Amino acid sequence: KQEVTQIPAALSVPEGENLVLNCSFTDSAIYNLQWFRQDPGKGLTSLLLIQSSQREQTSGRLNASLDKSSGRSTLYIAASQPGDSATYLCAGNTGKLIFGQGTTLQVKP
């Protein structure tokens, strides 16, 4: 059974810092891994999708990596801004999408 874990559960940083969010999964037979952003009371916005054959994906200040052999993915956010404050969810796809509990990020001005 696929289990997805995200560390840390919460993170508070000053504006401008580079930061890393971690995601680990138990079943390496994933098709892909997807990172989402969720603002309070809102739905899920897809940020990045990494296929199992890929090592990383980039979108603007976001970079996500995938290491299937170790069961790990990281989301790197460069030059963080207050508008980045949200909960970040990673999810592994083994035919069904299994979510981690999320990392709640607060970026202070």
> Which residues of the shown chain bind another protein in the complex (CB under 8 A)?
31-32, 34, 36, 42-44, 46, 49, 51, 89, 91, 93, 95-102
Q: 14: cis peptide before it, omega within 30°?
A: no
Shortest CB 39 distance to another protein, Å: 11
Distance CA 101, CA 5 (A): 7
Shortest CB 79 distance to another protein, Å: 25
Residue 64 or 80 having the CB closest to another protein: 64
Residue 62 or 97 having the CB closest to another protein: 97
Distance CA 28, CA 7 (A): 18
